[in-house]
Every structure is written in structure tokens, then in C-alpha cells.
A = this chain, B = another copy of it.
């Protein structure tokens, strides 16, 4: 990972590839890399779909090594959805492969002269970019099938579906999993629209002939990775809950806690929750010959995913995540797992953020475009996006735009990005993260659910404002650091509760790079990432006034706790005072 691949899409005579040493960005990975390049090289006031934005794709520090869970790929840019900086990350195979090929980052820059569509191939011989208009408006599934025919089945693919080509602000970037299915998405913030604006439909990665990245101190690394895996297997969340039921184990937990946003954040509990819970989902998957325990990339030991088949045993999609099941399920009053799986499949195929789309359908239902609970209507609405009709373009622009176009007041967005699956009134720490994250509303930016609800990293009353700012601050710092390692965020459960597992992670990094980092250095890394992102956002016009939840969360109490969001504005403004 000592080089950066840059493709200037706007060069005279067509796209121009240059490979440069990593230089000033040495030692960075994942979110630290993407946010460093974006904050240094992108004008915060540029048009997000214009020549001055850059799409930065970066493996994590440990990606491509034997360290378990190191397969996350970060994607960064100025977000066309939020107007601020964006880092969205995904699992799948591309991160490991890119890292083994030695690329610390791939940067798409400039603006194409016309609307030619390109594919990029990166392998041991270097990189090339080829026009290929035959890929136009293919869904991610068909696209990958076509690329497999051309490049074989040892590749991995980073791609956009129709939504990214249409530059819709709910568009995601897909990464293929171990089965070469486009199921792992850098979902949030419209990163797919930025890839679309660069005219790049797919990046095909082939690491044939490359070896696993080798550590500076192999013995110490081997020892550290063993302790690392042991720690993950020991913790009840990473060792049992997630492997057995996936993230959707949360449906019953969050519903029981009264923090399950239902009918577009009208209520905090969903009567149909048991029909769409992780337990029901896992059993359905097993009964139909799918799988309830499956990893998204080689080297994963948590295996939180699965395979969802239809009633006849045919593959529909990977196991929908908790947030997807919530967004397309309870949030829309839908309690049918098959419909939710179909919505997940459509989102993956068109290249759409499932959280944004579920929240959008909820807003559309509130606007009267469909009835809450009408699963077929929800499917039809998402299909409009694939077709690119005016209605589809509205919906594909996300919950904020849909709310504006239809004059809806209850629109659950922060910085124009949809809130995920935890009501900030019933999980107040989550509300602090939603409000203040540099990313817009994002549960992964500082997952206060852990301590508010799950009792991981201590316990803090989810209904009281006290302590939530400190909790969110610490989690946001830790997350920014973890997002830079290439590690799946789910490792956080283990390292928050088990100091020896946190130490094992640091030992992995130290032995791999020949460093002597301490926990304080990790904290310092997280802070420095957040500071760069905050500086970018301020210059882009996202100040404290945008660090707020929508007004209705402070006006409308949510059942069953009948509580509003209680954290005061002046306290929200202290999250980044450290």
C-alpha cells in the first residue's frame, strides 16, 4: 500500500491514469485516508457532481493482511446529499484485493468531457480504463454477471447501478462479496452519484499473482491476530449474537426498548416486529436452504450475514441487515420478510442506500403516495427509481428531497441524510450522534446503542440526557479510528468490553507496521480525522445550526415512553470540545 492510483476523467484526449507514491498520505488508511485527501484536495464549496470533487476509495491499514475482520473499504468525497464531507464504508472483497495490489487509494478526479461510460481494471500489471457503453443502465447484478464473463470469477467489483448513473443522491457504491454478488454497499451520502458523475460504472479488481501483505514482525503479528480472534469469539455479541442472527437480532431488542421507529417515526414500537425479527429471519433462511451465518469477506470470523432464499429456494438477496429490515419494514408498517428481502435486492441492484430508501418510502407514505403497511406499493415505488421516472428520481433523491417536494413536515433527516433505525427520543445518546456527526444522521458514526441499550462499554440510561454527550464523543472518536484500520465496526463490541482485545488490535497494527502505538495514539488518530472532517464541513457551510435533530423530535413525544429528545443545543455544541 505504498502507491495511489489517480484517474483524471477530464484529461484532454480521455481519462488519464497516474500512479504516484503515497507520499504525504503515508501511514493512513480507510477513513483517515479518504477524509485526509478530500479535506486537503477538494474545495468545500465545489459542486459535488462537478470537476472539483474527488471520489477516494481506500482500503484500511490492515486490509490485505491475515488479520481477521480487516476487509472494510472506505469511500470518501464531498457528499451530494449532505453538502459536507462523506466517508461510507463497505465489506466485501475489494478492500483486501486493492490492498494486496499495493494501492493505498484510488482517486477519481475531474469531469468527463461527454457521457461515455467507463470501466476500470486493476490487476498485477497495473491499471487501465476502457470505455464501455454496453454497461449503461445495467443493475449491479447483471453488471457483475457481464464482467464475470469478461474477466472470470476471481475478480471483485466496485460498481454503481442505475441510481448512480442517474446521479441520484441516495445512490450507493456496491462491492462484491465472496460469491461475487454485489451485496455490500458503501451506502450513505450519495457516493454512488459521485462515481456516476465521474462516468465510471465499474472498477474490476483482480489480485491474481499477489500475496497476502506481510507484517514487519511476523511472529508478533501471528500472536496478536490469534489473541484478536480469541477476543472476538469470546464476546457474546461478536461470538454468539451476530453469528447466529446477524444484525437483525436487534429488532426485538430495540422494539422492546421502545426505540424502534415505526410509521415514519410516529411510534416507538411495531406490532409486527416478531414477524421480521432476526430470530424469525434466521429460521426462515435455514428452512429454505439459505444460510443464517455467513461472512461478507474472507477473513471474517463474526459472520453476521446470511443468504435469503424465496419460498422455492431461489436466491433473492444476502441476509438483510437490521437497519434495512427496519427501514423497509417497521418504519413503513411492513411485517413481511419476503417483501423486505425483495426491497433489499432491488436497492442492491439499482445501487441505493437501503436506509435512505426505507426512510424515503416512509415519508412518501406520510405524503399519501402509498398506505403504511402496503408492501407491494413499497416495491412499486422503489421500482420507479430503477426506471428513472420523475417519481423515481424524487424518491432516489432521498427522504429530505421527497419531504420537500411533497410538503411533508415529519422528515427524519440530519444534514439531509435519513436517520437510521433507532429513535433518538428513546435512545438519546444515538440522537447526539445523529445530530453532531460530520456525516449527517448515521448510527455507525458513534453507536451509542451499545451503552444505552446493550450494556456494552458500561450502562447509561437511554431516556436521560445526562452523559450522552460524553458517550457520543468517545464513540465518535473511537469509530473514526476504527474506520481507518479497515476493521469491521462490529469489533467495537469486543474492544469496548475487553481491554485485552483492544490491546490485541493495537498489537496487530504495531507488529504489522513496526510501530509502538498506544491507546492514546488511537484516540489521537480518531480526533484528527474528526477535526479534518469538521473543518471541511464548516467551510462547506455546515455549522452548529446543522448539528440539530429535526424540530419534531423536540416537539412530539414518542410512545411508549412519551418522551422527546432532551439533550440541549448548547450541550450538542460541546461534543467536539475535547
Chain A positions within 8 Å of B, measured between CB atoms, are 43-47, 49-50, 52, 80, 166-169, 193, 196-197, 389-391, 393-394, 397, 401, 404-407, 409, 538-543, 545-546, 548, 550-552
**Contact A409 B49, beta carbon cutoff 8 Å:** yes
**Contact A551 B193, beta carbon cutoff 8 Å:** no
A545/B541 contact (C-beta < 8 A), A404-B397, A405-B394, A407-B197 known: yes
Task: Return chain B residues, CB-CB under 8 Å to A394.
Answer: 390, 393-394, 405
Task: Return chain B residues, CB-CB under 8 Å to A52.
Answer: 551
CB distance from A137 to the nearest CB of B (A): 14
**Contact A405 B401, beta carbon cutoff 8 Å:** yes
Task: Return chain B residues, CB-CB under 8 Å to A551.
Answer: 43, 45-47, 50, 52
Beta-carbon nearest neighbor of A171 in chain B: B407
Complex Cα gap A363–B235 (Å): 55
Task: Return chain B residues, CB-CB under 8 Å to A543.
Answer: 541, 543
Task: Return chain B residues, CB-CB under 8 Å to A407.
Answer: 49, 166-168, 193, 196-197
Copy number in the complex reads 2
Beta-carbon nearest neighbor of A392 in chain B: B390
Q: Which of A46, A390, A541, A552 has the most CB of B within 10 A?
A: A390
Task: Return chain B residues, CB-CB under 8 Å to A167.
Answer: 406-407
**Contact A404 B169, beta carbon cutoff 8 Å:** yes
CB distance from A254 to the nearest CB of B (A): 26
Some 9 contacts from A to B, beta carbons below 8 A apart, are A47-B550, A47-B551, A389-B390, A390-B391, A397-B405, A539-B545, A541-B542, A541-B543, A543-B543
Beta-carbon nearest neighbor of A547 in chain B: B541
**Contact A45 B545, beta carbon cutoff 8 Å:** yes
Complex Cα gap A394–B393 (Å): 9
Complex Cα gap A540–B169 (Å): 23
Beta-carbon nearest neighbor of A395 in chain B: B390
Beta-carbon nearest neighbor of A548 in chain B: B45
Complex Cα gap A550–B404 (Å): 21
Task: Return chain B residues, CB-CB under 8 Å to A169.
Answer: 404
Beta-carbon nearest neighbor of A543 in chain B: B543
Complex Cα gap A545–B84 (Å): 12
Beta-carbon nearest neighbor of A569 in chain B: B45
Complex Cα gap A169–B383 (Å): 27
CB distance from A499 to the nearest CB of B (A): 41
Beta-carbon nearest neighbor of A168 in chain B: B407
Complex Cα gap A45–B549 (Å): 10
Known: A47-B409, A390-B391, A393-B406. 9 other contacts (CB 8 A): A44-B545, A45-B548, A394-B394, A394-B405, A397-B405, A401-B404, A538-B545, A539-B545, A543-B543
Task: Return chain B residues, CB-CB under 8 Å to A44.
Answer: 545
Contact partner of A541 (CB less than 8 A), chosen from B46, B196, B397, B546, is B546
Complex Cα gap A69–B394 (Å): 43
Complex Cα gap A538–B196 (Å): 34
CB distance from A512 to the nearest CB of B (A): 40
Complex Cα gap A389–B49 (Å): 27
CB distance from A411 to the nearest CB of B (A): 8
CB distance from A133 to the nearest CB of B (A): 17
Beta-carbon nearest neighbor of A393 in chain B: B405
CB distance from A56 to the nearest CB of B (A): 20
Q: Which of A50, A80, A169 has the most CB of B within 10 A?
A: A50
Task: Return chain B residues, CB-CB under 8 Å to A196.
Answer: 407
A540/B550 contact (C-beta < 8 A), A394-B405, A397-B405, A401-B405 known: no
Complex Cα gap A450–B538 (Å): 35
Task: Return chain B residues, CB-CB under 8 Å to A550.
Answer: 47
CB distance from A549 to the nearest CB of B (A): 10
Complex Cα gap A52–B552 (Å): 11
The 4 closest A-B pairs by CB, nearest first: A167-B407, A541-B545, A390-B391, A390-B390
Task: Return chain B residues, CB-CB under 8 Å to A393.
Answer: 394, 405-406
Complex Cα gap A290–B210 (Å): 81
Task: Return chain B residues, CB-CB under 8 Å to A542.
Answer: 541
Complex Cα gap A236–B132 (Å): 62
Complex Cα gap A15–B407 (Å): 21
Complex Cα gap A552–B43 (Å): 13
Task: Return chain B residues, CB-CB under 8 Å to A405.
Answer: 168, 390, 393-394, 397, 401, 405
Task: Return chain B residues, CB-CB under 8 Å to A49.
Answer: 407, 409
Complex Cα gap A401–B397 (Å): 10
Complex Cα gap A192–B14 (Å): 48
Task: Return chain B residues, CB-CB under 8 Å to A80.
Answer: 404
Task: Return chain B residues, CB-CB under 8 Å to A548.
Answer: 45
Complex Cα gap A166–B43 (Å): 37
Q: Which of A80, A409, A548, A550 has the most CB of B within 10 A?
A: A409
Task: Return chain B residues, CB-CB under 8 Å to A197.
Answer: 407
Complex Cα gap A409–B115 (Å): 14
CB distance from A438 to the nearest CB of B (A): 15
Q: Which of A44, A545, A546, A548 has the most CB of B within 10 A?
A: A545
Complex Cα gap A50–B408 (Å): 9
CB distance from A389 to the nearest CB of B (A): 7
Complex Cα gap A539–B52 (Å): 30
Complex Cα gap A46–B550 (Å): 8
CB distance from A105 to the nearest CB of B (A): 24
**Contact B47 A552, beta carbon cutoff 8 Å:** yes
Beta-carbon nearest neighbor of A545 in chain B: B541
Beta-carbon nearest neighbor of A83 in chain B: B545
